[in-house]
Each structure stands twice: as C-alpha cells, then as structure tokens.
Amino acid sequence: MPPEYDFSPFINLVFVDEHYRGKRISELMIRFALDYAKEIGFKEVYLKSEHHGLYEKYGFEKIADFEPMQGLANQLFRIAI
C-alpha cells in the first residue's frame, strides 16, 4: 500500500479454494473478521482488492484507487462497524 493509505485494521487477503466457491464462505470469513474487530474496539475496517463490485455487496465503500506497490489490488475499501 502507498504510505498515504496506512489504515488499520486491514483485511489483506480473502481466498476461498475453487472447490468451495459459491457457498458464501468469503462472506462468513469477512463477517467474522468484522465482528472480531468491533469486539476489540475498532469502528472501521479497511480492505484492498482488484475485484470490482464484490465487496460493495458486503457493505464496503470504495474510498480510493491506487497504483499497487505489489500484486494486483488497486482499490481501497472501508466499512463502518
């Protein structure tokens, strides 16, 4: 991430094996992470991704586009919890 996007806490990677896709497992993992972050006192959670339209359906809002330092993720998302 570029230094100007030094946010925390941060969901860095959500991956579901091909055999288990379509069963809403990524949604369950994200909800678990959000619940845990809220439980320990955070008010927002951030996430980066190259996927368009995926995380908005979980309530995230895109707050920036950026040139990735590594990998493909080029969008930054935030959700209030």
Q: What is the pLDDT of residue 15?
A: 87
- Could you give the CA distance from residue 10 to residue 15 in angstroms, rounded to a whole number? 15
Query: What does the pLDDT look like over 29-60, one tens digit per residue?
Result: 999 999 999 999 999 999 988 888 889 999 99
Domain boundaries, the chain: 3-80
pLDDT above 80: residue 4: no
Q: What is the mean pLDDT of residues 57-71?
A: 81
In Å, the largest CA–CA distance within the chain is 37
Architecture of domain 3-80: 3-Layer(aba) Sandwich (3.40)
Q: What is the mean pLDDT of residues 6-31?
A: 90
Query: Do the bridges between strand 75-80 and strand 61-65 make them parallel or antiparallel, or are there none, so unpaired?
Result: antiparallel
Q: What is the pLDDT of residue 70?
A: 62
